[in-house]
Every structure is written in C-alpha cells, then in structure tokens.
Chain A
C-alpha cells in the first residue's frame, strides 16, 4: 500500500475540519474525492502536503511505510509526494525554470541521482511543456506571476510532469478551466498514469472525471468519507447531489 490514512483528524484556525478520515491508496490507482464545499477536501490535500496552517490532532498517515506526519513539507516532496495547488502562489522575481530546476535537483539529490545541469534541465522542461501545450515563455517568467487561471493550473501539472511524483494530489485542478484547457490538463495527467504512481483527484464536479477516469470514487462529507465506490458513483452523485449520501442529513451545505 502506498498511502494509508487512518482516522485522521485535522484542525484549521482552531476548527476541526477532518473528523476521522480513513483512506487507502495503492500504487497504480486513481482515486477521486468528491464532496460539497466545506466538507474538508482541500484540507485533506493540504494536510497531506504538510501545510503549516493545518494541525493534525489525531490519526495517522503512512506513506510508503513511513510516518508522513514526521516529515517536513520539503521532505514529503522529496519522497515523491506532490500536491497541485488549488490556488498556485505568484512569486515575483523567482524565475519559473530556475525554481523548477532547484526543485527537481532537490528531489534527485534526495533519491541519490545526479543533479541536472541547466542544459539537461531545459531539454527535459521543453519536452514536458509540449505535453501540456505550454507556451515556452512561461518558463522564463516569474513563478505564476501574471498567469491566467488556466495557465496556473497547467503550470502545476507541468511541474508534476517534471518532478514525476509517486503520489500526486490534485486539489480542484479543474476549477477555473474552460473546456479546452480542461482537456489539455487532463491529457497531461493521463499521460502520467502509471503502475507505480497513484493519483488522488480532489474535485467538486464530476466533469473532470469524464477526462481523468478514476478507479475509485469517495464521497467526503463533514470531515469523513461516507461512501466509496467505482467510477459510476460519480455519475450517481451528479444526478442526486451530495445531500442524499450524507449519513445524517443536517441540511444542505451547498
């Protein structure tokens, strides 16, 4: 098992958001986590990445046999965990290519691989940029600065393609994308599907799952996974909405 989350409890701004979430993910699998706004989807993604604003108050996360909660965000990344941000951060003055080369070399160094020089890195980056039909000039701009919503999301998946993680968590990667951009981003993600890589797709809408077809779908409501199933569950949710699947309905949260 690549990822094993048991009874996870997470607080943000002193409010408990995840209230005992359990989830197991094997290499090669694609899991979709769906749920209404405020159910804790993004909290799960950020807690996995090690965001300092999210405090784990209970439960455990085992990743590749290691206690993930013991690792700093950069150590998690070096161990092959990747989160595509819902809101990628603009960093003025830090060159996109420079940043990604530093990230890739940090990961490679951790793996005991040789670091890439500038020429080798640019060859790799150009080939991956093609995959996402990205304009080459995005590489020479500041990280996400002045990028459109679609460009930012594309840049996230581009980074994923370069870093080749073992576990990727895509936090609402579909939000803010038009249909063309959605297809390009999905193609990029699908190209990265592989037997030794797992992907967790966090989304509010079923639409993305037409393009990135999951092996498993989980419904997250009020901090817990309340239902799990195959890809057909997503279609069912599309028709019935989230309210029906809540175990104890306390009123629509949408």
Chain B
C-alpha cells in the first residue's frame, strides 16, 4: 500500500491543489470528485496482472509527476491547422472549453454547445482507473447537442489540445454528444498536444444516438511521442440509428482506447473501424466492445495496424450478443502489418454469444508485406521502395478511404507518409 501511495503521491498533490481552486466546483461536484478520486486511490493504476491490461504496462505513466496545467496561450494558426480551417469548431484546451478558439456563435443551425461542471449532466460512463481520474479532474463537461431531425451538412470539428511548458501535465477532456431522433451529423474528434511538456490525456467521450439518428465519426489522435493517451468512449444507439466511426491513432508514447458501443435498439447499425501506426518505442492498445443488446443489428469492425521500429500493439475485440439479440450480424477483422522484426502485436477476438440465431465472424491476420505481391510489382519495373509504398498505402486505404471528410482523409494520408517516411501517392 505504501508503494502504491508513493506512486500516487504526485496525483494526490495535484488533487489537493485542485481542491483549493474555484474550478473544483460546488457541493455536489466536489462530492463527486472526492468520491471518484477515492475510487482511484483505492484501485491505483492498473497492473499487467489485470486481464484487461495484460500487455499494456502503464508504469511509465505512474512514474511521472503530473501537475494540473495552466491555461496556455495558443495562436490561431495552430488551431486552424489542426482543424483544417473548418468553420464549425469546438475547441477544448487543457480540459476547458475555449470560447475564443471555438466558433460557438457560428455553429450550424440545430447544434448547441454548452459546458457544465456537473458530471451527471452527461451520461454515466463506467470504466477503470482512467475514467476515475477523468471524473475527479475534468473541468468542463462539454455537451454537444444536435436537435432532432436536423441534418447538419458541414462537419463539426471537436478538438482537444493538451499543452504545457516544462512539467508534465494531466488533462481530462470530457465530452457528451447527444444526437436527437432522426438527426444526421458528421463529427471529427481530434486530440493533439502543443508545447514541450509530456501530456497525460485521460479522455472520456460519450455519444448518444436517438432513434434513426446517423452519426459519421472520425477520431484523430496525433499527440506527441511523449504523450500518454488513455481514452474511454461510450456509444449508445437507439432504434434504427447508425454510428460509423474511424479511429486513427498516429501519436502517443502509450495510447489506449477503450471503446464500447451498445446497440440498444432494434435495427441499429454500428461500424467501428480503425487504423493505428506505431513507430519507435510506442505502444497502441485498442480494446473494443460491441454489445448487441437488441435484435436485428448489424455491426462491422475492421482494425488495421502498421507497426515499425520496436513498437507494440494490443487489440482486443469483444463482441457480446445478448439473449434478446436475435438476427445479429457481427463481423470483425483485425490485421496488422509488421514492418520490422522487433515490432510486436498481441491480438484477441472475444465473442460472448447468448442468442442462437446470429451470424458472427471474426478474423485476424498478422504479417509482413506479401512477398509475392512485392515481386510482382518489381517484375514490372517498380522499385522496392515504390512497391513497399504502394502496398502500405493499399493496406491503410481500406480504413482511410472510408473517411468522408476530404481534408481529414488527405491529412491522414500525409501524416501516415510522414510517420512511415513514405513518398506521396497521387
């Protein structure tokens, strides 16, 4: 217990400092924070003895002394670049909604954004230590509402920036997206770090889709290689709604995404696709749960990883089919491309099926670039480098080509090329 207490000392100090600030909130919020932090202290950081964290050692996170960040000065150009000049932007800086960087007055009709200090204004999100940390340290619960039957034609850019000068900082962005019945919206959720400090982002995001709502979602994580990104996302789908998501993880020293999607209404459809690229000593861990709670729901999942250097990846894809969820059609594919001998992945599909009239398929493939294909391309005059380039683009294209927001898709391709030192494909 003493060892644990010592490791958590810096967080206790940070929480103490937070207690003395106005942002700590009023009575109810204070109680909620205290309860959450007590839960966190009781459990501590997860260890590799915990089944859900078997291959992801967060000791480097626990070893750092994080402080709560001050409000940094960000120039407009930095933010502009991160949202590709989009007009509808909701920007969170170090956990706080930034009205200066956002365009809250110019959001499309039917879209409203508010900030609350009361965590119960959003849906309850369950999770482990990092959700507890978010519950304790979040500053603004940013609530994005899309009114029912509203079709939002321009994509909403939600950007969370973590920034600090010298000491490592901890930020806890928290967002609830509530999409009304029959509404339609495209949301780009980005995470980036600015400045020299190492940033720990413990993010919690929830999406609630009303009946017949359609949400097209992209998550882009481009934090620095010194950053820790520990994010929990919850999606709940009502009858006949559709959630289509692509999660791109391109940054971070340790990145962990826990994504849970509950198909909670007849005929709802969910797509969780993802592409992660890891180089150097970084680690990317994705744990997804697709929970088929109601009948007639299709779900699709394609995750692809490209690993170079000594990087590591973990993929755990759980699919639960509840007893009521007859006629479920769930497909899961997980592929990883290992570009070096030292790169490594642990992958596991996990199917828990309690209904009898269902279709569930899963497949995993891990390998290097296909030698036969490489030879075929070279035998036509294409250099080894170009052939490799083409093959990697093709591998990633499976996920990237599905991104509907052009600027985001093009930027993702460019970022991949930079990270893997590929030449640009036209």
Partners in one complex: yes
Which residues of A are interface residues toward B (Cβ below 8 A)?
A: 49-52, 72-74, 76-78, 82-83, 85, 88-89, 91-94, 98-100, 102-104, 106-107, 110, 142-143, 159, 163
Cβ–Cβ contact B394 & A107, under 8 A: no
Cβ–Cβ contact A103 & B390, under 8 A: no
- The CA-CA distance from A78 to B379 in the complex, in Å, is 9
Cβ–Cβ contact A89 & B376, under 8 A: yes
- The CA-CA distance from A12 to B194 in the complex, in Å, is 55
Q: How far is the CB of A42 from chain B (nearest CB, A)?
A: 14
Cβ–Cβ contact B394 & A73, under 8 A: no
Q: How far is the CB of B396 from chain A (nearest CB, A)?
A: 9
Is the C-beta of B371 less than 8 angstroms from some C-beta in chain A? yes
Cβ–Cβ contact B394 & A91, under 8 A: yes
Q: How far is the CB of A80 from chain B (nearest CB, A)?
A: 10
Which residues of B are interface residues toward A (Cβ below 8 A)?
A: 370-373, 375-384, 386, 390-391, 393-395, 397-398
Query: CB within 8 A of A159: which of B373, B378, B380?
Result: B380
Cβ–Cβ contact B381 & A103, under 8 A: yes
Cβ–Cβ contact A99 & B377, under 8 A: yes
- The CA-CA distance from A105 to B380 in the complex, in Å, is 10
Q: How far is the CB of B167 from chain A (nearest CB, A)?
A: 44
- The CA-CA distance from A72 to B397 in the complex, in Å, is 28
Cβ–Cβ contact B376 & A163, under 8 A: no
Cβ–Cβ contact B380 & A91, under 8 A: no
Say what secondary structure dominates the interface of chain B. Answer: helix
Tell whether A102 pairs with B379 under 8 Å between CB atoms, given A52-B371, A91-B391, A92-B394.
no
Tell whether A73 pairs with B386 under 8 Å between CB atoms, given A52-B371, A89-B372, A93-B393.
no
| B372 CB contacts on chain A under 8 angstroms | 89
Q: How far is the CB of A72 from chain B (nearest CB, A)?
A: 7
Cβ–Cβ contact B375 & A52, under 8 A: yes
Q: How far is the CB of B68 from chain A (nearest CB, A)?
A: 45
Cβ–Cβ contact A74 & B376, under 8 A: no
Cβ–Cβ contact A74 & B378, under 8 A: yes
- The CA-CA distance from A88 to B380 in the complex, in Å, is 12
Cβ–Cβ contact B390 & A74, under 8 A: no
**Cross-chain pairs A/B with CB under 8 angstroms, 16 sampled:** A50-B379, A51-B379, A73-B379, A74-B380, A74-B381, A74-B384, A77-B380, A89-B372, A93-B395, A93-B398, A94-B377, A99-B377, A99-B390, A103-B380, A142-B394, A163-B381
Interface centre among B390, B391, B393 (most CB of A within 10 A): B390
Q: How far is the CB of A162 from chain B (nearest CB, A)?
A: 10
Pairs of residues from A and B, 7 with the lowest C-beta to C-beta distance, nearest first: A93-B394, A77-B381, A103-B380, A106-B381, A89-B376, A73-B378, A74-B378
Tell whether A163 pairs with B379 under 8 Å between CB atoms, given A89-B372, A94-B394.
no
- Closest B residue to A84 by beta carbon equals B379
Tell whether A94 pairs with B379 under 8 Å between CB atoms, given A74-B384, A89-B372, A89-B373.
no
Query: CB within 8 A of B378: which of A77, A104, A107?
Result: A77
Cβ–Cβ contact A102 & B394, under 8 A: no
| A143 CB contacts on chain B under 8 angstroms | 376
Tell whether A163 pairs with B378 under 8 Å between CB atoms, given A99-B390, A102-B386.
no
Q: How far is the CB of A205 from chain B (nearest CB, A)?
A: 24
- The CA-CA distance from A172 to B395 in the complex, in Å, is 30
| A85 CB contacts on chain B under 8 angstroms | 376, 379
- The CA-CA distance from A76 to B383 in the complex, in Å, is 11
- The CA-CA distance from A142 to B386 in the complex, in Å, is 17
Tell whether A74 pairs with B391 under 8 Å between CB atoms, given A51-B375, A88-B376.
no
- Closest A residue to B386 by beta carbon equals A102
- The CA-CA distance from A221 to B106 in the complex, in Å, is 79
- The CA-CA distance from A103 to B381 in the complex, in Å, is 5
- The CA-CA distance from A110 to B311 in the complex, in Å, is 37
| A106 CB contacts on chain B under 8 angstroms | 380-383, 386
Interface centre among B372, B379, B381 (most CB of A within 10 A): B381
- Closest A residue to B389 by beta carbon equals A102
- The CA-CA distance from A77 to B379 in the complex, in Å, is 6
- Closest B residue to A93 by beta carbon equals B394
Q: How far is the CB of B377 from chain A (nearest CB, A)?
A: 7
- The CA-CA distance from A153 to B380 in the complex, in Å, is 15
